[in-house]
Amino acid sequence: MFFLLLPFLKSQNSEDTVVSKIIIEGNNKTKDFIILREIYHPLHELVDTVKILDDKNRIQNLGIFSEVSSELLPLDDGTLVLKYTVRESIQKTPPTIFPTYNESKGWSLNALWVFNNFRGQNQLLALSGSVGGEDTYGISFKDPWILNDHISLSVNIMSILYKNRFLNSDIESKSIKIGVGKWFRDQIKTEISLASESKFFKTKQEFVPYKYFYIYSNIRYDTRDIFWNPGKGLLLSSSFEYLKGYDFKTFHTLIWNQSLSFYINLNNIQKNSVLALNGVIKKKFGYKDRFFQDYIGSSNTIRGWVLPDSTTYSAEPFRFGHEYLQTSIEYRYEIIPKYVTSIGIESGLGIVCYTDAGFIIENGYLNRSDPILFGSGIGIRIPFPIVGVLRFDFGLGIIDNKIKSKTFHFGIGQKF
């Protein structure tokens, strides 16, 4: 009797059944074609669970849905319907005024009007302004697929006034930037943008103006599964920035940034346990000025170090320069996987244990005399609509095997 049932049991295996129809549910605002172009599972072919998972990840990576699920439904003719169900995240904010904190610029009172998924076509339109630590106003627009096959367009007009933390100078920056991009097979991503920018640096003793053309290009090889919180894959990114001064001061600067990140899933259960590794190098050729210096010791560089001020600039010169090398390792664990609350807000909780290391490059790698900075600590990650994730870290700053500082950091998005 068992052998007589084998053909019947095999016919009930969905992986041996053909998908004859694909449907989408839950997209009240988002146009169907925005989702359909992310679905690669073919019609009239056998079910492929790997392709279904990849489809769900691509839809999730649009950044406009808080939940994505799939289901196979049988039809009378023995084929299956593949149904994708989405739940739209917060799509826009009303004109809102709220306080914000920027680690390097302090507290500001922000006015913001955001249209995420503008016109239901996964476009982003934002009107913004602020007073306080930053005085800003601007408008941004981005369409990740304005033409066929992942050709993107972005436009950004911005004015910013803030104080440099360690040079005690007021910085006024104005820019107009237009960018285009192109993806190749979902893994190779390119971008180029052109801008006209002006920066004015004002101290008690001097006024230094800069006006320049700015060209930015970037190419990435990206195999991450979920962009906002990768569980596996790698991201290799290489970018070049070229600045050519005119009007006030003629200069040429070429900046090369290289970053490599690995994400390794340590288990396959619902609460993901991930080992994440990252290395970054920055090189600058040509004109270098103190007003364009970088520093290490912050939420996006070496965590655990107190943010620098003018006293730090004199006492710890090894934290300031134009070029640097950094590396990080994080162990990430989901205590509460991302879910959607009853009021439609994304929530969840993850913990992170991390160690960072890096140094400013002054005389090359082999002849380097500056010390290596370390930072180590723990943090939490909370999913949040539109921005992806809120990041809170506490760390110890270490140099020469001694604890130099300890501090909290707040950031938007993963460090890498």
Tell which of 24, 55, 88 closes a domain: 88
pLDDT, position 371 = 86
Is 380 part of any domain? yes
Is 152 part of any domain? no
Cα distance between residue 18 and residue 36, in whole Å = 19
Cα distance between residue 226 and residue 65, in whole Å = 12
Q: Nearest Cα to 97, choosing from 133, 138, 129, 124?
A: 129
Cα distance between residue 87 and residue 345, in whole Å = 11
Higher pLDDT: 402 or 203? It is 402
With a cut of 80, say whether residue 328 has pLDDT above it.
Answer: yes
Q: Nearest Cα to 374, choosing from 357, 361, 391, 395?
A: 357
Binning pLDDT at 50, 70 and 90, where does residue 35 land?
A: very high
Is 139 part of any domain? no
Is 367 part of any domain? yes
- The boundaries of the domain holding residue 404 are 164-412
pLDDT, position 183 = 93
CA quadruple 298, 299, 305, 307: dihedral, nearest 10:
50
Binning pLDDT at 50, 70 and 90, where does residue 8 land?
A: very low
What's the CATH code of the domain at 26? 3.10.20.310
Mean pLDDT, rounded, of the chain = 88
Cα distance between residue 93 and residue 108, in whole Å = 18
With a cut of 60, say whether residue 275 has pLDDT above it.
Answer: yes
Number of separate domains in the chain? 2
Is 70 part of any domain? yes
3-state secondary structure 243-290: EEECCCCCCEEEEEEEEEEEEEECCCCCCCEEEEEEEEEEEEEECCCH
Pairing between strand 273-286 and 324-340?
Answer: antiparallel
pLDDT, position 9 = 38
> Rounded mean pLDDT of 142-171?
91
Tell which of 44, 72, 88 closes a domain: 88
Q: Are residues 169 and 77 in the same domain?
A: no
Q: Nearest Cα to 18, choosing from 55, 72, 85?
A: 72
Is 96 part of any domain? no
CA 222 from chain center: how many Å?
13
Cα distance between residue 360 and residue 242, in whole Å = 21
> What percent of the chain clears pLDDT 90, i.e. is strictly above it?
63
pLDDT, position 4 = 38
CA 152 from chain center: how many Å?
17
**pLDDT one-digit tens code per residue, 198-224:** 999 998 888 999 999 999 999 999 999
